[in-house]
Amino acid sequence: MLKINNLKKNFGSKKVLKGINLEVKKGEIVGIIGPSGCGKSTLLRCINLLETPDSGKLMFEGNNLLDGDSNKDIRRRIGMVFQQFNLFDHKTVLENIILSPVLLKIMSREKAIKKAHELLGEIGLEDIANNYPHEISGGQKQRVAIVRTLIMKPDIILFDEPTSALDPEMIGEVTNLMRKIAKEGMTMIIVSHEMNFIKSFCTRVVFMDDGIIKEDASSKEIFLNPKNEDLKSFLSKINAY
């Protein structure tokens, strides 16, 4: 589904991604871990073209996303969930969810509203459909952001530290929703510091350090039998090994 080849990205003279190779298959749930500043968020943002890579290949379902014009329609098939939720502050929860499908004429307004209520209903958020973002809790905001992505029927969803801006008691409601979506077969890439969640949730984990991927294995292997020395020291620092 997604194939990344020798992807490089610099910010000025600073090399953030020094040649990333990664393949993600349909239905996989890939966690990306690594120390701060190792480039994990940048990698995720490159996949969604929020950052433009300097070189390399970014193949999605056979299309090179870096080929310019062909990526316009593809972008909506790659969902993104942000650390800071990024709900549209001037729109209600419902409006947030239906804005894009209606604007892009994926569905009619009536159908989008119906679908949004349905999705909100599934996770018990019907009551806040007409609230504004500043009126709801962080956990609710992040779940609305996920629903906003879901209504676009993406092939893959990228999660950029989806729980790090949340109060601890709200983390559960977000991870539960993620588990629910995973069960339905969604492909996901997750950047997170929640090691327990990554460990129990992801089918595969990628360890990034210093702009490259240093280890890529199953979740079990990474946490129980790490091979790379940097991974070992990283895990010991966060008491996960």
By the rule CB under 8 A, 9 interacts with another protein: no
- In angstroms, give the least distance from the CB of 158 to another protein: 8
What single DSSP character describes residue 194?
Answer: -
Which residues have CB under 8 Å from 48's CB, separation 6+? 75, 78, 80, 158
Contact residue for another protein among 11, 63, 67, 88 (CB under 8 A): 88
In the region spanning residues 114 to 153, those forming contacts with another protein, defined by CB under 8 A, are: 132, 145, 148-149, 152
Q: At closest approach, how far in Å is the CB of 73 from another protein?
A: 7
Q: Return d(Cα 56, Cα 9) in angstroms, integer.
A: 9
Q: In what order do the strands lie in the sheet with 212-218?
A: 78-81, 156-160, 187-191, 29-33, 204-209, 212-218
Residues in the chain: 241
**Which residue type, as a one-letter code, is found at position 19?**
G
User: How many CB atoms are located within 10 Å of the residue 125 CB?
Assistant: 20
Chain positions 168 to 207 lying near another protein, rule: CB under 8 A, are none
Question: Smallest Cα–Cα separation from 237: which of 35, 24, 28, 1?
Answer: 35
User: In whole angstroms, how close is the CB of 157 to another protein at the nearest point?
Assistant: 10
| Strand bridging mode 2-11 / 14-24 | antiparallel
- 192 or 219: CB nearest another protein: 192
Stretch near another protein under the rule CB under 8 A, chosen from 62-70, 86-94, 172-180, 218-226: 86-94
Angstrom distance (rounded) from CA 78 to CA 75: 5
Query: How many residues form the binding site for another protein (CB under 8 A)?
Result: 26
Binding mask 49-68 for another protein (x = CB under 8 A): xx------------------
Other C-beta atoms lying within 10 Å of the C-beta of residue 153: 13
Please report how close the Cβ of residue 177 comes to another protein at its closest, in angstroms. Answer: 18
Task: Report in angstroms how near the CB of residue 235 gets to another protein at its nearest.
Answer: 31
73 forms part of the interface with another protein (CB under 8 A): yes
Q: Which stretch binds another protein (CB under 8 A): 99-107, 161-169, 188-196, 203-211?
A: 99-107
Contact 160, 81 (CB under 8 A): yes
The 3-state DSSP class for residue 227 equals coil
Q: What is the nearest approach in angstroms of another protein to the Cβ of residue 131?
A: 10
Q: At closest approach, how far in Å is the CB of 160 from another protein? A: 10
Residue with the two structure tokens 């709200």: 170
Which residues are near another protein by CB under 8 A? 48-50, 72-73, 75-76, 78-80, 82, 84, 86-90, 99-100, 103-104, 132, 145, 148-149, 152
